[in-house]
Amino acid sequence: MSQAVLVFVALNAILAFSFYAVLVAGQLSLGQAGFGALGAFTAVALAPEPSEVGDVPALLVAILIGMVVGALAAVLLGLPTMHLRGVFLAIATLGFAEAVRILLINAEWTGGANGMSVPKVVTPLIAWVALAVVAYWFWRQGPSSYGRALAAIREDELAARAMGIDVGRHRLSAFVTAGAVAGLYGVLWAYFVRLLAPEDFDFTRAIDGLVTAVVGGSTMWLGPLLGSGFLTLVPEVQRALGVEAGWIRPFIASALLLVVIVFLPGGLGSFLPRVRVRARPTASGAGTDRPGLVARTHAAAGEPVVRIVGGNKDYGGVHAVRDVDLTVGSGEVVGLIGPNGAGKTTLVNMISGLVPASSGTFEVLGTRPGRTPVHRIARAGVSRTFQHSKLFPRLTALENVLVGAHVVSRPTFLRRLLWLPGARRDEAVVVDHAAGCLARVGLADRSSVDASALSYGDQRRLEIARALASDPSLLILDEPAAGMNNVEADALSELIASLADEGLTILLIEHNVGMVMKTCHRIVVLNFGEVIATGTPEEILKNPAVVEAYLGSDGDSPPGTPHTQEAR
Amino acid sequence: MQQLLNGVFLGSIYALFAIGFTLVFGILDRLNLAHPAVFAAAAFIGIELVTLGGVSIWLAIPLVAGIGALLGLVIERVAFRPLRGRPDAHFAGLISSIGLAGMIIALLLWRYGPDTRRFPADAFPATTFEVAGARVTLLQVAILAISILLMVGLTWLVARTRLGRAMRAVAENPRAATVLGIDVDRVTATTFALSSALGAVAGALFAMNVNSAQLGMGAAIELKGLAVIIVGGMGSLPGALVGGLLLGLAEVFAVQYIGSSWRDLVAFGMLFLLLVVRPQGLFGSRRVREV
């Protein structure tokens, strides 16, 4: 294998890592070619000549400049485009990259379309050292709390936000990482090919980088290297086998690309065993003594945790919630019942800040939902489950719960980079805590199963464990018993009671009226968006308005009958 | 005036290309990056039909559309259907269609070689018209007429027919569409066939307009097609039409007043600004996210 091939495998892998950096957070950016071009041209223009200061110092200075410029460009592009998703983000970043390329072609200092001549400094050793550093970075990033937060954003952005993850900041930092790595790629490329031209950073190059990252596997840190090795070597192998040049080579390369992507969903990385976080068998459970976790104190019993005055939500002409006044005291277990479409979920969506109210005052644990960003509300101690499970499907049960513990765990990524022992200790504490939460809902033996592979009832329980992991003051459960049998529902009642004993405030939406009656201190009944009754379970059972709302005015079965679930 | 007309002719081809692009995106939420390969393939096949088959260029256009539709079916079957239900279907579809596009281009290379191909000199009618002082060939008028006819036809099809209703249902919610008895696979395949047929006609017309076909012509128009569907609003058919015309005019006038080297910067700068300010495009509607 020639030296050039060795270098290109490393360089293509570094480019692919710059795509991997954002793909792990579920973002599709095609701006990396632009970051790389800006980094490379600025570095070559500003860095000292290798003939004056020596090869390696000159290259190091150039790399530093290139990475800083790439990262800065990523910030500049990232800030205005952070609200874009999916293909829109891809095309906006692509537009940026193309604009950069055209600017560089038309600028004087870059030598225009002819480019700049650059001394050749990069050797296979240098290229592979650079690659090793980049790969090391992503290897350490993966299982850190930061890496898990990025994975959570990729799997379900809304749920990640509800778990207290600042999605904007995480997405931007992933973007900046991509910019810096792309800048590194640009500089190495420039100091290897001797002639730096804007055409080296065109649309095709961006697509190549993306293809390499995805073929290698965008959820596995070795993926970009595997992809680069595969795609760079396929033409080499064909040449060695004596396959004629011309159309056959690109045909076979494209066909292989298609085969890999269709038959290997995780890319080539799926051949490698996946490293899963494992719970230690000695896990002590979610005790009170957790030195590595951020401590939280609940409000004193009876102090208002939720205060809503005149809460309203309109969707067009539909009044989903009308003039709701509700105060929930610390330590209370409040049931929220009502027929389908009564506005229960809308109300808790407003309390957890996911949906802004049309009018009314909302105060939850000192935050103002609707104005305070969702992740800050979660940070203040609000945690919830969703009516339709919003788990992170490709993460294991334990990893799901670890994401739930995001707001109470300490960041470990930077310490993991330096192998500081504290990081390992903190990780172990969080893993124990998460394993304890899983055990509490009866899923201890399912911890290493992917969330998507769990049964429906187990998924509901996993959501509760994930919500518990943030050590919440206010726990909102949206139809947690849906799909559970009576035995499971009873176990859930007991769990809720034990949580209430610990001082948690719980807001429970549930159609299983028997369970609500048994579990809650107080019940609020909604119908057509309005509160039609509040009171103790006994009062609610006797309330004629409630009976009418549930059964119609001439109903003949008692309101304790469990409501049938609508199937979804 | 001449510039204005040139812009309109060019823009109508962009629009035709983009409308096929956006049809698949609007209904299936997938970007089909094999679309530009169909565009290029159609140009070469069109030239071969006229040169070797002795077919008149008027007949070549429906033939090319048919071949495009077949290619569309292949693309759907090979590059998209196997990915259904995967969590990363979005990225995977991009990559698989790039792979298939590479195969199509490689086959073109095998059949036609790397050189530029042209229509025979006598293939075009020589008739020209004077419109407000500008010279217009019959071919250009035909290009405009065919583009507009196809776009109006497509809009009618989506808005008024049973097939169009099924397509919109699939766009809204494939699962619900299945429950209502719509054969989602068939609607999906038909959408791809229609989309690729339009892309193929655009390719043939483009080759006629500049009288040349190159292997890289699809890649060259790919970015512009993306720009057009973003400007018009992802999935919006009238948006793609307006966006295509705007881009054609902007290019022609940018070359005249700013210089050809800055031409693409104008387009991409505008694209970028628009995305930041109004991501749903001029005619798109923002999708409501469910909690």
CA torsion B254-B259-B262-B266 (nearest 10°) is -10
Which two tokens mark A555?
């109903």
Surface-to-core class of residue A459, CB atoms within 10 Å of its CB (0-12 exposed, 13-18 middle, 19+ buried): buried
Which chain A residues contact residue B105 at CB under 8 A?
250, 254
**Per the CB < 8 Å rule, is B262 touching A102?**
yes
- C-beta separation of B252 from B260 below 8 A: no
Extended beta strands in B211-265, E state: none
Chain B: residue nearest A387 by CA?
Answer: B291
Name the β-bridge partners of A314.
A319
DSSP codes, A152-203: HHHH-HHHHHHTT--HHHHHHHHHHHHHHHHHHHHHHHHHHHSEE-GGGGSH
Residue A567: count other Cβ atoms within 10 Å of its Cβ.
5
**What span, in angstroms and rounded, lies between the C-alpha atoms of B92 and B226?**
18
Tell me which residue of A333, A443, A313 sits closest to A391, measured CA to CA.
A443
Tell me which residue of A283, A85, A355 sits closest to B291, measured CA to CA.
A355
Which chain B residues contact residue A253 at CB under 8 A?
102
Which chain A residues contact residue B262 at CB under 8 A?
102, 106
A191-215 core/surface letters (b: 16 or more CB in 10 A; e: else) = bbbeebbbebbbbebbbbbbbbbbb
- At residue B222, the 3 state secondary structure works out as helix
Of B88, B101, B268, nearest to A99 by CB-CB distance is B268
Name the β-bridge partners of B87.
none
Q: Would residue B284 count as lying in a domain?
A: no
- C-beta separation of A396 from A506 below 8 A: no
**Per the CB < 8 Å rule, is B102 touching A250?**
yes
**What span, in angstroms and rounded, lies between the C-alpha atoms of A362 and A324?**
10
**Per the CB < 8 Å rule, is A203 touching B223?**
yes
Output Rg (C-alpha) for chain B, integer angstroms. Answer: 19
Name the β-bridge partners of A335.
A508, A523
SS (H, E, C) A469-526: CCCCCEEEEECCCCCCCHHHHHHHHHHHHHHHHCCCEEEEECCCHHHHHHHCCEEEEE
> Which site among A91, A155, A351 would you substitute to test the B interface, given the most B Cβ atoms closer than 10 Å to its Cβ?
A91
- C-beta separation of A383 from A475 below 8 A: yes
Provide the shortest C-alpha distance from residue A463 to chain B (in Å).
15
> H-helix or E-strand containing B250?
helix B237-257
Q: Does B251 or A363 have the greater pLDDT score?
A: A363
- At residue B128, the 3 state secondary structure works out as strand
Tell me which residue of A31, A45, A50 sits closest to A107, measured CA to CA.
A45
Question: Both ends of chain A: CA-CA distance in Å?
Answer: 56
Q: Does B281 or A144 have the greater pLDDT score?
A: A144
Provide the shortest C-alpha distance from residue A437 to chain B (in Å).
25
- C-beta separation of A211 from A261 below 8 A: no
**What span, in angstroms and rounded, lies between the C-alpha atoms of A219 and A107?**
39
Chain A: residue nearest B275 by CA?
Answer: A92
Chains A, B: CB pairs < 8 Å:
135
- C-beta separation of B282 from B239 below 8 A: yes
Provide the shortest C-alpha distance from residue B4 to chain A (in Å).
25
- C-beta separation of A210 from A89 below 8 A: no
For strands A333-337 and A318-329, give the pairing. Answer: unpaired
**Per the CB < 8 Å rule, is A88 touching B261?**
no
B230-246 core/surface letters (b: 16 or more CB in 10 A; e: else) = bbbbbbbbebbbbbbbb
Tell me which residue of B38, B105, B68 sits closest to A251, measured CA to CA.
B105
Q: Does A172 or A316 have the greater pLDDT score?
A: A172
Chain B: residue nearest A209 by CA?
Answer: B95
Question: How many domains does chain B divide into?
Answer: 1
Of B103, B110, B219, nearest to A254 by CB-CB distance is B103
Q: Which A residues, 476 through 515, put their C-beta within 8 Å of a C-beta on chain B?
A: none
Domain assignments of chain A as residue spans, ordered by start? 3-202
**Per the CB < 8 Å rule, is A261 touching B234?**
no
Of B78, B82, B264, nearest to A102 by CB-CB distance is B264
Which chain B residues contact residue A105 at CB under 8 A?
261
Q: Which B residues, 230 through 289, put their C-beta within 8 Å of a C-beta on chain A?
A: 230, 234, 261-262, 264-265, 268-269, 271-272, 275-276, 279, 289
Which chain B residues contact residue A107 at CB under 8 A?
none
Of A81, A251, A256, nearest to B107 by CB-CB distance is A251
Which chain A residues contact residue B32 at CB under 8 A?
none
**What span, in angstroms and rounded, lies between the C-alpha atoms of A78 and A445?**
42
Across residues A65-87, what is the average pLDDT?
89
B74 touches chain A (CB under 8 A): no
Q: Which residues in chain B come in under a pLDDT of 70?
A: 266-267, 279-291
The amino acid sitting at A414 is L
CB proximity list for A279: less than 8 A, separation 6 or greater: A398, A431, A432, A434, A435, A438, A444, A447
- C-beta separation of B264 from A98 below 8 A: yes
**Per the CB < 8 Å rule, is B289 touching A158?**
yes
Q: What is the mean pLDDT of chain A?
A: 87
A262 touches chain B (CB under 8 A): yes
Length of chain A (residues): 568
- C-beta separation of A534 from A361 below 8 A: no
Percent of chain A with pLDDT over 90: 46
**What span, in angstroms and rounded, lies between the C-alpha atoms of A357 and A132?**
50
Range of the domain at B150: 2-277
A235 touches chain B (CB under 8 A): no
Which two tokens mark A554?
């001439």
Tell me which residue of A139, A143, A186 sits closest to A37, measured CA to CA.
A186
User: Could you give the C-alpha distances from A129 to A132, A180, B65, B127, B207, in angstroms and in order?
Assistant: 5, 16, 52, 66, 48
**What span, in angstroms and rounded, lies between the C-alpha atoms of B200 and B212?**
15
A354 touches chain B (CB under 8 A): yes
A243 touches chain B (CB under 8 A): no
Length of chain B (residues): 291
CATH number at residue B169: 1.10.3470
Provide the shortest C-alpha distance from residue A100 to chain B (in Å).
9
Extended beta strands in A291-397, E state: 304-315, 318-329, 333-337, 359-364, 382-384
**What span, in angstroms and rounded, lies between the C-alpha atoms of A50 and A44?**
11
Provide the shortest C-alpha distance from residue B115 to chain A (in Å).
13
Name the β-bridge partners of A313.
A321
Q: Would residue B164 count as lying in a domain?
A: yes
Q: What is the pLDDT of residue A558?
A: 46
Percent of chain A with pLDDT over 70: 94
Instruction: Supply angle C-alpha A248, A250, A252, rounded to 5.
Output: 65
Q: Is the pLDDT of residue A209 over 80?
A: yes
The amino acid sitting at A280 is R
- C-beta separation of A192 from A125 below 8 A: no
With tokens 């983009």, the residue in question is B18
Which two tokens mark B114?
């790397």
Q: Which B residues, 203 through 222, put their C-beta within 8 Å of a C-beta on chain A?
A: 219, 222
Across residues A387-399, what is the average pLDDT?
91
**Per the CB < 8 Å rule, is B95 touching A210?**
yes
Largest Cα–Cα distance in chain B?
Answer: 62
Tell me which residue of A434, A150, A161 sits closest to A292, measured CA to CA.
A434
Least confident of A269-273, A447-451, A504-508: A269-273
A211 touches chain B (CB under 8 A): yes
Tell me which residue of A312, A46, A99, A174 sits closest to B263, measured CA to CA.
A99
**Per the CB < 8 Å rule, is A91 touching B275?**
yes
Give residue-wise pLDDT tens across range B244-268. Answer: 888 888 888 888 887 777 777 766 7
Chain B: residue nearest A97 by CA?
Answer: B268
**Per the CB < 8 Å rule, is B275 touching A251?**
no
**Distance from chain centroid for Cα B176:** 29
Chain B: residue nearest A91 by CA?
Answer: B226
Provide the shortest C-alpha distance from residue B35 to chain A (in Å).
15
Across residues A267-287, what is the average pLDDT?
69
Q: What is the pLDDT of residue A290?
A: 58
Of B96, B98, B279, nearest to A88 by CB-CB distance is B279
**What span, in angstroms and rounded, lies between the C-alpha atoms of A496 and A143?**
31
Name the β-bridge partners of A507.
A334, A476
The amino acid sitting at A375 is H
Tell me which residue of A524, A457, A467, A455 sits closest to A489, measured CA to CA.
A457
Q: Is B284 left (phi over 0), alpha (psi -120 to 50) or beta?
A: beta
- At residue A381, the 3 state secondary structure works out as coil
> Which site among A19, A23, A28, A87 would you substitute to test the B interface, given the most B Cβ atoms closer than 10 Å to its Cβ?
A87
**Per the CB < 8 Å rule, is B227 touching A106?**
no
**Per the CB < 8 Å rule, is A211 touching B276?**
no
Confidence of residue A562 (pLDDT cuts 50, 70, 90): very low
Q: What is the pLDDT of residue A565?
A: 41
> Which site among B33, B105, B291 would you substitute to test the A interface, given the most A Cβ atoms closer than 10 Å to its Cβ?
B291
Question: What is the predicted ipTM?
Answer: 0.86
Q: Which A residues, 305 through 324, put their C-beta within 8 Å of a C-beta on chain B?
A: none
B64-97 core/surface letters (b: 16 or more CB in 10 A; e: else) = bbebbbebbebbbebbbebbeeeebbbbbbbbbb
A114 touches chain B (CB under 8 A): no
Q: What is the pLDDT of residue B282?
A: 67
**Per the CB < 8 Å rule, is B95 touching A255?**
no
- At residue A396, the 3 state secondary structure works out as strand
- Strand order of the sheet with strand A318-329? A318-329, A304-315, A359-364
Q: Which B residues, 82 through 141, put their C-beta within 8 Å of a C-beta on chain A?
A: 82-83, 86-88, 90-92, 94-96, 98-103, 105-107, 109-110
Q: Would residue B267 count as lying in a domain?
A: yes
